[in-house]
Structure 1
């Protein structure tokens, strides 16, 4: 991989700062043009992006790339274009009666230079998703993709340079050291997607510059099967949600809570659903590989530890293929009865492993969710609205999909973001525009007004007016 030297990184950042100073509030026409150029990149290079990502993974489903990356970014751009004029318009804000005929407005203005650090698991969606929101808001953007996707990053750098001036949108290549230098720059906003552990370091680096940050992290997202749930139907959705990108998805269900005594039944239905989705694995282009040998070894260690602790392991391998050191693919694996202290139950899995845990009543299920860090996503399956609403009310998570998996992420009219250890801030749609804007309150005083009555020297008039205010507010 070509590595951007520190001097180039600083030069790009400074060029964007100077360009923003010359054009601190781009017109709607300019912003739409930038979005159009971004969309043209997706339309003309989409197939090549899919090929590059496939090469980085050593086997990434092109259909998953088309659905989870190209479609999501394309939808985001089109949504932003359609609503940009309304988002840019100063917002009317009510004015208290005693201040009228003065009035309030909320003005949204660009922040400046935005830094975006994106991960390897969805390299296109998680780099261009925040970037499109920042461009729509009128900012300049520096992108730092993951070093684990060098083929994708090389293409992204190439097409961005062909479509944008470096002082508009630019890609920075590099390893961990370049990443550290990147997050240490005094950005006007820093957007990071990745692990909670790294997110803490990013927040600390940004704090040195008092740079505002948005952190899209992860955690252990639960799926809860209620007693009223049709298991077979739920199993199909859970299998899809868990095995999209071979489980390397920040909002994938990380563990499954099922009513006491139902774990084996649920495992059977999941196994059946998985076999229908993936009748073969190693040679199946729909089933994605693990990003690296190191990550694959980590998954194998987690399974072995759970097995050693007494858990029952169900390996779903429909065609009986041999998984050895020559493939980075990992078979879908269900784990029943994993000990709470195992890595499988403590760490975010980020792979095609699904622990199944039994609960004894809804109170117990809610308690098990709440004893962990607040997750990025939560999934509830069932027909009982009262129990559903209890889960929604008594748990806190970044987002929820009811009776399915993953799809809350694709809603442009809803914010997407975590809470606490699973993230801070949100984006998508108008929430992305607002994240990368300064919402500046402006009070327009009327030519004829009575505020001079509150000026010193203070006396009877001041007391009279203050008493009047107290009575009417």
Structure 2
């Protein structure tokens, strides 16, 4: 009861502060974005330490996937926010002459951001950058499964950002439940589809708009690449896209690879060589690959391998270290398609390789499953590229690389279907946390009398032509405005 009362008080204070209009100012928005940059620059080592303690991330991985991404995003918004705020002129049809129109982006109000544990810094601060750029007040709920990062954010954000406008609330399931009982103007959630359905149900009670950044089984399609160097580079990028981000614990990470059967042995041998090059012969000693986040997820992944039919498909790796919650990069060849490892998102360092007779069958294979967040396709066949684009549905399609779409501010990032909905990054983040308000300016110098009763056939004909053909010139001609005919 006490938690709920405190939350209500916090949200009430945020709403009152929003009503002052201070957050709408471009000066306020830019000051907060600069403050985020200062936070990142001043506390880089503290973030490295928190990410290592929570997830075992190496500083290079931590900077590449989180800290550097936040810095890039904040700099981009800082340089663009003033331009984004300018009302956009809208062409008004001649039917409404004399008039002019514009679209004004205004902040939604009080925003709730649920971040995820696998990228606990990036997935808290990147949406925050969009919410602040749009002029909102914000509550951030970091994941309690990354406690060091959660505590870092709770302690450091008030030291840099306007504490009247940005709050961090820590806690577990009971805190999340209490937050969802409150009234919000927007909820931004990153996490699993199971929890997302709970968020949507709660949001529906207040008709609160939501953005859901979820996951899904992201496939990699490996077409025949005749040039050995191209093939090697493609496999190198597949290894990076599978085990590089948080040991496979990433919504955009590769979940499985589709390849023609005749190339599967070559693929697997090259995967083994590159894994060894990246992580050494004993990856747990390399200290460059993240660990599994907690015991629950460690046991879930181990259980996937305990299925005898799945275990029989292991062609590389498979060893586990329970004490350190580490699972070796593992490759499986053609596990049963109805096994849990092929039905649920893996979210870990296990990579199934699925063989096909013809690579074109990959389209049907992907379409037989829920829509993925991303499809990675390695091919030089332009016809095949077009078929993938037009005949599949996913949050994004990336040709001949992996993961890079997440760092591109000029492209929208988001899912479709089971992989989520809504989009963000760059200007798309600004739009996600804004309402585009339509504004029309008219004057009192000219009136269209056929819009008013009493009705007659002439008025019916006039309105019919106006709607069908935007035939306003006829009326203006009748009034002597021949230049508009």
- TM-score computed with the length of structure 1 as normaliser: 0.94
Q: Which of 167, 170, 188 matches 1:170?
A: 167
* Alignment correspondent of 2:59: 62
* Alignment correspondent of 1:274: 275
* Alignment correspondent of 2:196: 199
* Alignment correspondent of 1:285: 287
**How far apart, CA to CA, are the structure 1 residues paired with 2:52 and 2:311?**
37
**How far apart, CA to CA, are the structure 1 residues paired with 2:105 and 2:449?**
30
Shift of 1:156: 0.7
Larger displacement relative to structure 2 (173-182 or 138-147): 173-182
* Alignment correspondent of 2:255: 254
Shift of 1:167: 2.5
* Alignment correspondent of 1:29: 27
* Alignment correspondent of 1:385: 382
**How far apart, CA to CA, are the structure 2 residues paired with 1:374 and 1:260?**
24
SS for the counterpart of 1:211 is: coil
**How far apart, CA to CA, are the structure 2 residues paired with 1:471 and 1:160?**
56
**How far apart, CA to CA, are the structure 1 residues paired with 2:23 and 2:447?**
34
Shift of 1:346: 0.6
* Alignment correspondent of 1:232: 232
Matched, 1:368 2:365: yes
The 5 A counterparts of 1:70-81 are 70-81=67-78
Matched, 1:419 2:416: yes
The 5 A counterparts of 1:136-151 are 136-151=133-148
SS for the counterpart of 1:275 is: helix
SS for the counterpart of 1:374 is: coil
Return closer, same or farther for 1:54/1:92 CA change in 2, 3 Å cut-off: same
The 5 A counterparts of 1:277-316 are 277-279=278-280, 280-305=282-307, 307-309=308-310, 311-316=312-317
Matched, 1:45 2:46: no
Return closer, same or farther for 1:8/1:304 CA change in 2, 3 Å cut-off: same
Q: Which structure is larger by alpha-carbon Rg, 1 or 2?
A: 2
Any conservation in 1 of the 2:305–2:311 contact (CA below 8 Å)?
A: no
Any conservation in 1 of the 2:304–2:310 contact (CA below 8 Å)?
A: no
**How far apart, CA to CA, are the structure 1 residues paired with 2:164 and 2:203?**
22
**How far apart, CA to CA, are the structure 2 residues paired with 1:215 and 1:18?**
27
SS for the counterpart of 1:219 is: coil
Any conservation in 1 of the 2:225–2:379 contact (CA below 8 Å)?
A: yes
Return closer, same or farther for 1:349/1:323 CA change in 2, 3 Å cut-off: closer
Shift of 1:269: 0.8
Shift of 1:467: 4.3
**How far apart, CA to CA, are the structure 1 residues paired with 2:334 and 2:462?**
71
Shift of 1:459: 2.9
Any conservation in 2 of the 1:16–1:166 contact (CA below 8 Å)?
A: no
Query: Structure 1 regions of 5+ residues with no counterpart?
Result: none
* Alignment correspondent of 2:481: none
Matched, 1:242 2:242: yes
Q: Which of 335, 348, 357 matches 1:338?
A: 335
SS for the counterpart of 2:254 is: coil
Return closer, same or farther for 1:237/1:139 CA change in 2, 3 Å cut-off: same
SS for the counterpart of 1:71 is: helix
String of CA shifts for 1:408-450, please: whole Å, max 9, x gaps: 1111011100001100100001111011001011111133233
* Alignment correspondent of 1:359: 356
**How far apart, CA to CA, are the structure 1 residues paired with 2:13 and 2:449?**
46
Larger displacement relative to structure 2 (369-378 or 296-305): 296-305
Query: Structure 2 regions of 5+ residues with no counterpart?
Result: 471-485
**How far apart, CA to CA, are the structure 2 residues paired with 1:186 and 1:259?**
52
* Alignment correspondent of 1:86: 83
Shift of 1:309: 4.5
String of CA shifts for 1:264-290, please: whole Å, max 9, x gaps: 221111111111111142222211111
Larger displacement relative to structure 2 (455-464 or 214-223): 455-464
The 5 A counterparts of 1:385-404 are 385-404=382-401
String of CA shifts for 1:104-156, please: whole Å, max 9, x gaps: 11111000011000110000110111111000000001000111111111111
**How far apart, CA to CA, are the structure 2 residues paired with 1:449 and 1:88?**
32
* Alignment correspondent of 2:95: 98
**How far apart, CA to CA, are the structure 2 residues paired with 1:197 and 1:393?**
29
Any conservation in 1 of the 2:309–2:336 contact (CA below 8 Å)?
A: no
String of CA shifts for 1:433-473, please: whole Å, max 9, x gaps: 01100101111113323334412222355235324415633
Q: Which of 456, 459, 464 matches 1:459?
A: 456
**How far apart, CA to CA, are the structure 1 residues paired with 2:359 and 2:328?**
32
Return closer, same or farther for 1:450/1:460 CA change in 2, 3 Å cut-off: farther
**How far apart, CA to CA, are the structure 2 residues paired with 1:363 and 1:149?**
41
Shift of 1:347: 0.7
**How far apart, CA to CA, are the structure 2 residues paired with 1:203 and 1:354?**
31
Return closer, same or farther for 1:169/1:310 CA change in 2, 3 Å cut-off: closer
* Alignment correspondent of 2:483: none
SS for the counterpart of 2:321 is: coil
RMSD of equivalent CA atoms? 1.7
